[in-house]
Amino acid sequence: MDSILFNLMLIGALGIGSQWVAWRFRLPAIVVMSIVGLLVGPIFGMIDPKEDFGALFHPFISIAVAIILFEGSLNLDFREVSGLGAPVVRIVTIGAFLAWLFGSFAAHYVAGLSWAVAFVIGGLFIVTGPTVILPLLRQAKLKPRPAAILKWEGIIVDPFGALLAVFAFEIIKFLMDEKVTAMTLLLFFLASIFALIIGWTCGRGIGWMFEKGHVPEFLKSPVVFVVVITCFVLSDEMMHETGLLAVTAMGMTLANRHISSIEDMRHFKENISVLLISTIFVMLTASLTVDTLYKILNINIAVFVLLMLFIVRPLSIWLSTSGTDLSKQEKTLVGWIAPRGIVALTVSGYFSSVLLDAGFTDASILTPITFALVFSTVCVHGFSIGWLAKKLDLAINSQPGVLIIGSSIFSTALAKVLQDLNIPVLIADSSWQRLHPARKAGVSFYHGEILSEQTEYRLDLTPYEYMITATELDSYNALVCTTFIPSIGRNNVFQLSLRNKRGDDLKDLVHTIGGRILFKKEASWEEINKKVESGYVFRKTNITERYSFEKYLKERNKETLLLFILKPTGRIEFFVEDTNIGASVGDVVVSLTSPSKEFNKIQEKLEQEQEMQHHK
């Protein structure tokens, strides 16, 4: 028991540690997790999850995949796919069918598998899946259209790939085993339909209970997870792998009922999904054997992987999307990105044992060939998606942007400075009149309520890593900050200083709700706008070896308001209350300076230039 506890702790620590390393050094998380799993598993032999967990290994992996797939399918709101219908439908139907055929031919003629095994594995290899696609999309910051296509394909095709493999296996048994009749195939199709009905029913049932208030808030997340597991197990017990179809149907049903309770739980479910992905990827790669790794080096397997990368996937996408409005750039990107993940690894392990028991000896290389494809696609696509997206102009500007809530003279002037520094910036306000300064200054703006549900579909927030709430109402600023903290992060959400003397007394709540207080206590909405109206100017100061940040602080006027520091990497560090930050060589310090101070600086600079000319 102590060994199992230690291994659970180690796997969890390695998985989350890999996620942190990937975030810190901007690496594909799944690549880091795969490498870590190989190091602690077959290479150094520290753990062997299959042996350590015994009979619990496969059930744990299956339930984890079901929860991950359910969480991903909760993002499949039909409103999001508006305008993408034809390409998505073509890719998940014609594209998947072509990928199955081409992949099966490659497996037979190149990898040397028998037709029976080739068609089983060909069906399995059409899957991409949310476990690999969603982390890559977060990393690459694609434009909304290609990102939505890849996400929808990954989540929809994921359960169908497993079902296609099951279907191929049932057909093989029907053709080769006299005991298997047409009734067996009929039962397979009926089981798939039953899985859809179970998923739809569970989704409708949960939605009805939440809407009618039959489940208290503190039980909603536990109830959802229990129902997901129940839905998965009931379907899977009837026909292996139909459980994935059931949880996908359940997630899509809930997503399109637009229940506020489900939205409130979304971030909790995302956190669970990240934890599960981290854990099971380390477990699966650590479970591989040295013999499996040696088999991967087989030349036939290597050529098969290359064909899947450069021929099968691009050809199936280009053929299936012919005649749609997808651009060549979008077809190229979608045709290249198809990383395989957890579902492929787990299901191939199942079919490897089943096919071997059925007498297909060549099924022994299913695990090596699957891992070769999974690891190759994860590495190649993980490292190339960002570069290729930029080359094809399908990536959002990598420079972290700033979203400002509330249009005013100050916020408009701040946006202009950010714009001059080539930082993506957007001012959002629900009042067309208040947006007048922004419109007049030529600053990008959004007219609408940032907290409205419609904003999620009308406004792409991906380019903006920082949020500043700068309206007149402290309570509204705090509400907006609190709403966006889970998605943007507490360290990147800011609001202007609270006006405790005039507005709501929010002083006691500042540590529990709202964002970080910008600049300093005196920099309230009135004060900061007064400064801009009275002629205060935004000043950009370059920190050099000759002009250090310490020297800048000594020479600055006491009335100067320090705003933020722009790092050479593009990262922005805002000055916040009760936090000291420093600037180093190469940084740019942006401040709000009094007109007299700015005039004196200009005069001093002119005198220095004249003196230098005189010395020359």
In a domain, 37, yes or no: no
Strands 537-542 and 425-429: unpaired
Q: Which helix (H) or strand (E) holds 301?
A: helix 299-307
Judge if 551 and 405 occupy the same domain: yes
447 with 415: CB under 8 angstroms? no
Per the model's pLDDT, the better-predicted residue between 182 and 285 turns out to be 285
In a domain, 57, yes or no: no
Judge if 335 and 447 occupy the same domain: no
What whole-number distance in Å separates Cα of residue 453 and Cα of residue 260? 10
What is the residue-averaged pLDDT of the chain?
79
In a domain, 91, yes or no: yes
> What's the pLDDT at 316?
92
394 with 146: CB under 8 angstroms? yes
Last residue of a domain, one of 357, 391, 425: 391
In a domain, 7, yes or no: no
> What's the pLDDT at 263?
62
Judge if 422 and 364 occupy the same domain: no
What whole-number distance in Å separates Cα of residue 563 and Cα of residue 474? 19
Annotate 510-578 with DSSP letters as a single string: TTTSS-EEBS-TT--HHHHHHHHHTT-EEEEEE--SSS-HHHHHHHS-TT-EEEEEE-TTS-EEE-BTT
The residues that bridge with 574 in the sheet, in sequence order, are: 564
**Predicted confidence (pLDDT) per residue in 308-330, tens digit:** 999 999 999 999 888 887 888 88
In a domain, 47, yes or no: no
Burial (CB < 10 A; 0-12, 13-18, 19+), residue 299, is: exposed
In a domain, 302, yes or no: yes
Last residue of a domain, one of 391, 409, 429: 391
In a domain, 27, yes or no: no
Judge if 371 and 412 occupy the same domain: no
Judge if 460 and 322 occupy the same domain: no
> What's the pLDDT at 1?
45
Q: Does residue 613 carry a pLDDT above 80? A: no
What whole-number distance in Å separates Cα of residue 172 and Cα of residue 166? 10
User: What CATH number does the domain containing 527 carry?
Assistant: 3.40.50.720
Per the model's pLDDT, the better-predicted residue between 457 and 153 turns out to be 153
To the question of pTM greater than 0.85 for the whole model, the response is no
Judge if 202 and 349 occupy the same domain: yes
> Which residue type occupies 390?
K
Last residue of a domain, one of 391, 417, 438: 391
What whole-number distance in Å separates Cα of residue 100 and Cα of residue 164? 9
Judge if 480 and 535 occupy the same domain: yes
CA angle 361, 364, 369 (to 5 degrees): 130
Give 505's pLDDT tier (boundaries 50, 70, 90): low
Judge if 307 and 412 occupy the same domain: no
Judge if 351 and 421 occupy the same domain: no
Strands 401-405 and 464-469: parallel
What whole-number distance in Å separates Cα of residue 492 and Cα of residue 502? 27
Judge if 289 and 186 occupy the same domain: yes
For the ranges 83-87, 392-396, 433-437, 602-606, the maximum mean pLDDT occurs at 433-437
What whole-number distance in Å separates Cα of residue 99 and Cα of residue 311? 10
Six-digit token string for 310: 């450069």
Judge if 434 and 331 occupy the same domain: no
Judge if 370 and 330 occupy the same domain: yes
Six-digit token string for 403: 């979203």
**Predicted confidence (pLDDT) per residue in 191-232, tens digit:** 888 888 998 999 888 888 888 888 887 788 888 888 988 988
Q: Which helix (H) or strand (E) holds 139?
A: helix 130-140
User: What CATH number does the domain containing 265 carry?
Assistant: 1.20.1530.20
Domain count, the chain: 2
The contacts found for 18-23 with CB under 8 angstroms, 24 or more apart, are: 18/278, 18/282, 19/274, 19/278
Angle between helices 366-391 and 29-38 (to 10 degrees): 150
What whole-number distance in Å separates Cα of residue 223 and Cα of residue 400? 38
Structural domain boundaries enclosing 340 = 64-391
Give 115's pLDDT tier (boundaries 50, 70, 90): confident
Per the model's pLDDT, the better-predicted residue between 437 and 606 turns out to be 437
Q: DSSP secondary-structure letter at 56?
A: G
In a domain, 33, yes or no: no
Q: Which residues contact 9 (CB under 8 A, 6 or more apart)?
A: none
**Sheet with 464-469, side-by-side order of all strands:** 445-447, 425-429, 401-405, 464-469, 493-495, 516-517
**The dihedral sign for the CA sequence 293, 295, 299, 303:** negative
